[in-house]
Amino acid sequence: MNLLGKIACYYIPTAIKRKNLSHLIRLSARAFECEPPDIRGKSYQQCLQEFAFFTQKAATEVIARKGNVQKVKKRLYRHAFMMGYNLRKLFKVRTPDEVMLISKRLYDILKIDFQGDSSGNIT
């Protein structure tokens, strides 16, 4: 892992967290084929809440209208995979231990409990 990745394990400026969360929101909206929520002028914490409400509402709507849940899952996975791939390149993550370390930190930023081991087991 490069120096940027090591620093990110301890500290990520709010502006960078907000930028990446905004990107995640747009990717999620694309996956759900709907408009993303307007987060302009909102704090990072407010953006996190908007993201949680948005994804819950969008998923509920897909299920309620009997949309193609599998297609949505595939799009969500593909977008998340590419975002993770780009972060892996940015931080020069190479080993399974580094993957788990940076993954835990990134999920913590999103207020998502993440536990995993170097074998790739995630709980």
Q: What's the pLDDT tens digit per position in 66-100? A: 989 999 999 999 999 999 999 999 999 999 999 99
pLDDT score, position 122: 82
Specify whether the CB–CB gap between 53 and 29 falls below 8 A: no
User: CA angle 9-12-17, nearest 5°?
Assistant: 120
The percent of residues in the chain predicted with pLDDT above 90, rounded, is 74
Q: How many CB atoms lie within 10 A of CB 88?
A: 17
Give residue for tokens 């020069």.
92
Render pLDDT for 8-23 as a digit per residue (tens, 0 to 9).
Answer: 989 999 989 999 999 9
Confidence at residue 114, expressed as pLDDT on a 0 to 100 scale: 84
Checking if the pLDDT of 123 tops 90, the result is: no
Distance CA(12)–CA(28), nearest Å, equals 22
Q: Would you kindly state where each structural domain of the chain is located, as residue ranges? A: 3-109
pLDDT at 61: 96
Any idea which residue has 């993957």 for tokens? 99
